[in-house]
Amino acid sequence: MLWKADNGDGTYTNPILYADYSDPDAIRVGEDYYLTASTFTNVPGLPVLHSKDLVNWEVISYALQELPGERFKEVQHGCGVWAPSIRYHDGKFWICFPMPDEGIFMTTASDPKGPWSEPFCVKSAKGWIDPCPLWDDDGKAYLVHAFARSRAGINCVLAISEMKPDGTGLIGEDKIVIDGHDTQPTLEGPKIYKRGDYYYILAPAGSVPAGWQTAFRSKNIWGPYEEKIVMIQGNSSINGPHQGALVDTPSGEDWFIHFRDIESPGRICYLEPVKWLRDWPRIGTAGGDDIGFGEPVETYKKPNTGAQQPITEPAANDEFDGSKGSSVPAENEGEIGRLSLAWQWNCNTKPGWYQIRKDHLELNSQKAERQLCDMPSLLLQKWPVPSFVNETSLDATALFDGEIGGMIVMSKEYKAIGVRKSGEGEAATYHFVEIVGNIKGDNEVIRELEEVEDPKHAIIRVKVMKGETAQLSYGSHSHMTLMSEYGTVPGHWVGVKNGLFAIAPNKEGKGKLVVDYFRFESFMY
């Protein structure tokens, strides 16, 4: 295993997911728990993770195969799907998600493994973010949301609208119910619940890296709302416990899943115990007086869910044998199956980008008239652990003259090592090349390195240390050349991703890159 939160002795150690599952929301349905998260411009989007014990999770599907809108034929860094919510109502699963330039959308499914419906627009609006629906006991429905100042011109306030019970639209005027400017700066990410006599809105404030969790409560959904800070970093090492989800167990326990931003690896997920005191939740272990705030836990007893689950984690390694499930539309299937659920493309996909044949992946070269980070056909994975070596073995002989295929480390700044083929037939030569640039489009550089010893088995590795530094190397099984170590930086709202590419600079792609495997191995650093 790469990351194991379950200690095997009835306890767990945070984080429960050391991977970039930003803005998580989760629910319980019977003995099963389901979690979704932001995916921004990457597709498939809206991963659906499953667990029986709230500690061990695996990806079982994606709710969104394509981002709505023509603009997502091209990469839109930082746009797309922001913080979603997941609910179960009327025998269906509902995921409500914002696109900050387009509005609020919903998708539904009777089975969380899919198929999920085509997303439909609940509200066309600019700057509405972080939506969460509530179906009340009287049959009415509501939607709470926040605002993005960059689009709406306001932020730090939460608003509620009445929603049609079928989720297809809103009713009446939107009403601001909480203004956080005086006491809850940078208020966002609301999740709404009803418990006993109260409506509760749980929301983070104080910024992503240094904020806290606040609970608001009222006996009337329209307010007025009382407020209490219910979790802060305090004396723990876990900074900025940000937005998340309140879930219960069949045994009557309550728990809270939230993210923490750790820069380059992204926004990783933590699990906290919840205790109710005088109708207020205290999240984490006691940090103040008996009814005050809590602090995040590091190691703690596992939830009493009444269900058994083997120790597991989201898939990462891929031998391209079709054994890891699937994540893409059926028209892209090869002879064996579809891509593993570990993979996402850089934005909306087109048929014919790849095939899986027997035990390898074939990436078809795509015309590149832009820098590498803006290529929709980048095939990417999240970082799965703090320190690791990621290795791939490539056969470049099916590339055409001038085409390049290789591995990328993708963030606001990116580095890639590829194999470039020059010429055709027996006269063809192969050289490793380095590609360096940033998402601002400032001076991408392609630099030729050394000749490839074995173009049918070219090895590229990335070694990451503590999620802070990376080192690329290239060569063959008999000899590897190390490049200089460098400090990593986060992506635009996302963690760094590693992935694969095959490009034909400034011409139509005709060849393909054959990938034997894509493997991670963790180590202590």
In terms of Cα–Cα distance, which of 209, 212, 183 is closest to 288?
212
DSSP at 150: H
- From 20, 102, 162, 188, the catalytic residue: 188
Strands 413-422 and 429-438: antiparallel
Q: Cα(269)–Cα(257) distance, rounded to whole angstroms?
A: 7
Task: Provide the token pair at 404.
Answer: 């390049």
User: Is 313 considered catalytic here?
Assistant: no
Q: With 0-12 CB in 10 A as exposed, 13-18 as middle and 19+ as buried, what is 182? A: exposed
In terms of Cα–Cα distance, which of 381, 256, 266 is closest to 18?
266
Q: What is the gyration radius of the CA atoms in the chain, in angstroms?
A: 23
Q: Cα(219)–Cα(437) distance, rounded to whole angstroms?
A: 53
Task: Provide the token pair at 247.
Answer: 């879930």
Question: End-to-end distance of the chain based on CA atoms, in angstroms?
Answer: 16
Task: Please name the residue ranges forming H helices in 7-51.
Answer: none
Phi and psi torsions of 116, nearest 5°: -95, 150
Task: Provide the token pair at 456.
Answer: 């049918």
Amino acid at 469: T
Q: What is the largest CA-CA distance in the chain?
A: 79
Ranges assigned E (strand) in 100-252: 103-109, 120-124, 128-135, 141-147, 157-163, 170-179, 191-195, 198-205, 212-218, 226-231, 244-248
Q: Cα(127)–Cα(219) distance, rounded to whole angstroms?
A: 28
SS3 content of the chain, % helix, strand, coil (to 5): 5, 50, 50
Q: Cα(201)–Cα(215) distance, rounded to whole angstroms?
A: 6
- From 6, 20, 23, 53, the catalytic residue: 23
Task: Provide the token pair at 428.
Answer: 């063809």
DSSP at 510: -
In terms of Cα–Cα distance, which of 480, 413, 519, 463 is closest to 472?
463
Q: Cα(216)–Cα(147) distance, rounded to whole angstroms?
A: 17
DSSP at 284: S
Q: Cα(430)–Cα(445) distance, rounded to whole angstroms?
A: 19
Q: Which residues pair with 381 in a beta bridge?
A: 498
Other C-beta atoms closer than 10 Å to the C-beta of 207 total 14
User: Is 272 considered catalytic here?
Assistant: no
Long-range contacts of 148-155 (CB under 8 A, 24+ apart): 148/82, 148/100, 150/100, 151/100, 151/101, 151/126, 151/127, 152/126, 152/127, 152/128, 153/127, 154/127, 155/186, 155/187, 155/188
Q: Which residues are catalytic?
A: 23, 188
